[in-house]
Amino acid sequence: MLVEVLVAVAAGALAYWLFQRTRRKDLKTQDGWWGAGDPPPDGEDLSIRPFTVSCSQDELEDLYRRIDATRPVASLEDSQFHYGFNSQCLARVVSYWRRDFDWRRQVDKINQYPHYKTNIEGIDLHYVHVKPQSLPAGARSVPLVLVHGWPGSFYEFYSMIPLLSGLPDLQLEIICPSLPGYGFSEAPHKKGFDSVCAARVLLKLMRRLGFQRFYAQGGDWGGLVTTVMAQLEPDVVKGLHINFPLPTFNATVTTSMLLGWRFPSLFGFTPFDLQRIYPFLENMVAEPMRESGYMHIQSTKPDSVGRGLNDSPVGLAAYILEKFSTWTDKSFKNLEDGGLNRKFSLDDLLTNVMIYWTSGCIVSSMRFYKENFSTLRPPHAKLPVYVPTHVACFPNELLHTTRLWVQQKYVDLRSFSSMARGGHFAAMEEPRLLAEDLLAFIRTMETPG
């Protein structure tokens, strides 16, 4: 009898454990207030206001004065981009910025799409909103939110927007916000604004715009924020497309890392997976460490370095553009010019820098790291994602991932693309590749049956 009781208890415990493992767990959150002071007694302002990016002569004169007052520092001989942004290359970039770059013309380019602001949880949120020019009678648009990362901005998607608009078979309505503390979105005035808070604010934005369900795309922080959006409201995010998924480390992932080089087929590793993962200590530990010094600074003391960058346009450009070199292709660190012109135009690169400079957002953008790394194991990291997901894996991404690793978190992984080329800033570097991959996923989701 005792044995039967023990067996029954053990079976019950096992059944409960399996139930807990398979039971759907959604992420929970509470409303916040990130404006200065206390919330107004008459409630939140729900209005949506048109916004236009502007450029004043005083702004330009101040920029030029600061550029002219910069103190050059010579790079070491034969150092290329191994010590950071090469000074000789920086001098050429700054010269172009000072004499040839036309910020007014770029402002006109930015304003080609409608911009708006609305106040959510006490902060003004900026976003670009591109609607279909004409909808057939009775048809409805398909909403899509595109979310950027650091040190990018909403402008990263400007080459993609035309590729996603005006399609005969898919009428996308595009919303491209600036994350709070980035670009023309107001920075939080209180501590604690992390990716969960950002996801909640963007969900509120989409509801305010009248969308019941929508697709979401993002890389870098945008990939994390859209992932958290899917965790918070899995019935609202219709599909998730990301190009920088972070692996969930569990027994399966750890085992595959240890044994994958010997039994690649057992873990679904491709020849390219093996090339990017092994030797493991070099590719998955040492190389990411060499590119993550900024992360330690920004997740601990962002204000100290940020103040210097906020005062110096040349320092700001060096800090931001260095990432557009080595994060695009790690081999670019061996080049005197960092390979910047191989993938981007200086006008586009400097436009992104100017968004940071004119809005004065570099400090608040860096604080987002401190808020997100305040705990090593945030609640969203422990939970799976149930929303249908597609992952685009670019070959020169900072941290390689495999389909098996992605599936540990994104349990409804519909598809996984190994992209032909491209790195971390995929939307800006390879807009056509990313747009085509995104459209293929949405079309599959929108096709009945």
Q: What b/e sequence results for 277-304 when a residue is b if at least 16 CB atoms lie within 10 Å of its CB, and e otherwise?
A: bbeeeebbeebeeebeebeebbbeebee
| Unique residue bearing structure tokens 């107004």 | 40
Largest CA distance in the chain: 91
First to last CA, the chain: 53
Q: Which residues pair with 146 in a beta bridge?
A: 217
Cβ contacts of residue 57 below 8 Å, gap of 6+? Answer: none
Whether residue 148 lies in the annotated active site = no
| Residue 175, token pair as written in the block | 């919303």
Residue 242, burial from CB neighbour count under 10 angstroms (0-12, 13-18, 19+): buried
Q: What b/e sequence results for 323-359 when a residue is b if at least 16 CB atoms lie within 10 Å of its CB, and e otherwise?
A: bbbbbbbbebbebebbbbeebbebebbbbbbbbbbbb
| Residue 203, token pair as written in the block | 């969900």
SS3 158: coil
SS3 73: coil
| Number of neighbouring beta carbons within 10 Å of residue 11 | 10
Whether residue 424 lies in the annotated active site = yes
Separation between Cα atoms, residue 21 and residue 442, nearest integer Å: 30
103-110 and 346-359 are packed helices; what angle lies between their axes, rounded to 10 degrees?
A: 80
Q: Are the CB atoms for 321 and 93 separated by under 8 Å?
A: yes
The one catalytic residue among 220, 329, 348, 437: 220
Sheet containing strand 48-51, edge to edge, reads 48-51, 115-120, 123-130, 172-177, 142-147, 214-218, 237-242, 389-393, 413-418
Separation between Cα atoms, residue 98 and residue 102, nearest integer Å: 9
| Number of neighbouring beta carbons within 10 Å of residue 18 | 10
The one catalytic residue among 113, 369, 380, 390: 369
Question: Is the bond into 279 cis (omega within 30 degrees of 0)?
Answer: yes
φ/ψ bin of 215: left (φ > 0), alpha (ψ from -120 to 50), beta (otherwise) = beta
The one catalytic residue among 126, 380, 390, 424: 424
Residues annotated as catalytic (active site), given as ranges: 220, 369, 424
